[in-house]
Amino acid sequence: MIEKEQKEEERGVGYYLGLKEVATYFFRKKDPNKKTNFSLKAMHTVNKISIIIFILGMLFFLFKIFFLR
Protein backbone atom coordinates (compact mmCIF):
# COMPACT_ATOMS: atom_id res chain seq x y z
CA MET A 1 0.00 0.00 0.00
CA ILE A 2 2.80 2.42 0.89
CA GLU A 3 4.73 1.54 -2.29
CA LYS A 4 1.68 2.38 -4.39
CA GLU A 5 1.37 5.80 -2.75
CA GLN A 6 5.08 6.49 -3.33
CA LYS A 7 4.78 5.60 -7.02
CA GLU A 8 1.81 7.97 -7.38
CA GLU A 9 3.85 10.79 -5.83
CA GLU A 10 6.77 10.17 -8.24
CA ARG A 11 4.61 10.59 -11.34
CA GLY A 12 5.22 13.77 -13.25
CA VAL A 13 3.01 15.99 -15.35
CA GLY A 14 3.74 13.93 -18.46
CA TYR A 15 2.10 10.91 -16.93
CA TYR A 16 -1.19 12.71 -16.46
CA LEU A 17 -1.21 14.42 -19.84
CA GLY A 18 -0.51 11.20 -21.72
CA LEU A 19 0.80 12.92 -24.85
CA LYS A 20 2.97 9.95 -25.75
CA GLU A 21 -0.05 7.73 -26.28
CA VAL A 22 -1.80 10.37 -28.38
CA ALA A 23 1.27 10.78 -30.59
CA THR A 24 1.76 7.05 -31.03
CA TYR A 25 -1.90 6.68 -32.02
CA PHE A 26 -1.20 8.67 -35.19
CA PHE A 27 2.07 6.97 -36.13
CA ARG A 28 1.38 3.29 -35.49
CA LYS A 29 2.45 0.72 -38.03
CA LYS A 30 -0.35 -1.42 -39.33
CA ASP A 31 -0.26 -5.05 -38.30
CA PRO A 32 -0.37 -7.14 -41.50
CA ASN A 33 -1.78 -10.15 -39.63
CA LYS A 34 -4.73 -8.26 -38.21
CA LYS A 35 -7.91 -8.33 -40.25
CA THR A 36 -9.72 -4.99 -40.48
CA ASN A 37 -13.08 -4.02 -41.86
CA PHE A 38 -14.67 -0.76 -42.98
CA SER A 39 -16.28 -0.02 -39.61
CA LEU A 40 -12.97 -0.26 -37.76
CA LYS A 41 -11.20 1.96 -40.30
CA ALA A 42 -14.02 4.51 -40.14
CA MET A 43 -13.92 4.54 -36.34
CA HIS A 44 -10.17 5.21 -36.27
CA THR A 45 -10.50 7.93 -38.90
CA VAL A 46 -13.20 9.72 -36.92
CA ASN A 47 -11.12 9.38 -33.74
CA LYS A 48 -8.08 10.91 -35.41
CA ILE A 49 -10.12 13.80 -36.82
CA SER A 50 -11.70 14.50 -33.42
CA ILE A 51 -8.30 14.48 -31.67
CA ILE A 52 -6.89 16.93 -34.24
CA ILE A 53 -9.89 19.27 -33.91
CA PHE A 54 -9.65 19.13 -30.11
CA ILE A 55 -5.93 19.98 -30.14
CA LEU A 56 -6.51 22.84 -32.59
CA GLY A 57 -9.31 24.15 -30.38
CA MET A 58 -7.11 24.03 -27.30
CA LEU A 59 -4.31 25.84 -29.13
CA PHE A 60 -6.75 28.51 -30.30
CA PHE A 61 -8.10 28.87 -26.76
CA LEU A 62 -4.60 29.26 -25.30
CA PHE A 63 -3.65 31.73 -28.05
CA LYS A 64 -6.77 33.74 -27.31
CA ILE A 65 -6.05 33.82 -23.58
CA PHE A 66 -2.38 34.78 -23.81
CA PHE A 67 -2.20 36.98 -26.89
CA LEU A 68 -5.60 38.58 -27.41
CA ARG A 69 -6.29 40.20 -24.06
- C-alpha torsion angle, residues 58, 59, 64, 66 (rounded to 10): 110
- The answer on pLDDT for 5 being more than 70 is no
CB 25 within 8 A of CB 51: yes
Q: With 90 as the cut, is the pLDDT of residue 58 above it?
A: yes
Residue 57 included in any domain: yes
Cα 69 to Cα 47: distance, rounded to the nearest angstrom: 33
Distance of CA 13 to the CA centre of its chain: 14
pTM across the whole model: 0.61
| Mean pLDDT for the stretch of residues 7-35 | 73
Quick one: average pLDDT of 34-61? Answer: 91
Average pLDDT of the residues of the chain: 81
The residue type found at 68 is L
Q: Is 14 within a domain?
A: no
**Is 24 among the domain residues?**
no
Residue at 41 is within a domain: yes
For the segment 15-31, the average pLDDT, to the nearest whole number, is: 74
